[in-house]
Amino acid sequence: MQAQTPDQVADTAQPSSASNTKENIFLFVPNLIGYTRIILAVISLYFMPLHPLRCSFIYAVSCLLDALDGYFARILNQHTKFGAVLDMVTDRCTITCLLVFLATAMPRYAMAFQLLISLDLASHYVHMYATLSMGGGGSHKDVDAKRSWLLHLYYSNKIVLFMLCFMNELFFLALYLLAFTAQEDLLADSQMTKSTRSEPRSARAMEIARTNKIQSSIPGILVWLSVPPMLVKQYINIQQLIVASKWLAEGDAAERARQE
């Protein structure tokens, strides 16, 4: 039998070593935090129609974990494309669910909430698609300042990113709590009928729950305090949609020019 050289031995052992050190991306700490966010968001949806304080607390914890997964991704060197997509999809789904509820709780402003949902989804989808298809970098947060100094600041400055996202979520969460403050035109708890008790998640039950659930001016104060940063966040969404669309159009024009 012919003896193997040291290089041949190393080559033979390499597949076995690689298989032993193969990482499971789905079990990275930031992604585990992402799964926890999803679970908490689902739980908050369950409490959303009738238990505003409980729902708000769980929803807020889910949102705050958004900053924690990024922290662990940096210190553990566990940045992944799957994690970035998971993070963005979770953000979009949670805020969409909250806005859908607000559209039913405040039907007068339903169209505004519908437009905000559309802007949020379109802006982030087009931006991520442009980043991936146009070779803009390994992450949707890698925005060239030449394309937009505002988006570059938003994504590169962690304090700006956290504060604007936090205040944007706070605005809609405060609106949600405002929907449960006492209102004169709603039914009192004593008027709850047997049929309403048997259907605790009906529209009538929700109205009764809103009657005396929260006796506080804090939700209204939080709404007004968070209005300016919420508007800035929506302007950034518009800017993001425009910049990403122009980037895609530039790519289309360059490709058509090469084909001529």
**Where would I find the H helices in the chain?**
6-20, 29-47, 52-75, 81-105, 110-133, 149-156, 158-178, 194-198, 203-211, 218-259
Q: Which of 66, 69, 87, 91 is catalytic?
A: 91
Residues 217 and 63: their CA atoms lie apart, in Å, by 23
In angstroms, the Cα distances linking 53 to 98, 178, 212, 242 are 14, 11, 13, 37
- Known catalytic membership, residue 252: no
Token representation of residue 173: 């969460």
Alpha-carbon dihedral 66, 67, 72, 74, rounded to 10 degrees? 120
Identity of residue 220: G
Q: Would you please indicate which residues are annotated as catalytic (active-site) residues?
A: 91
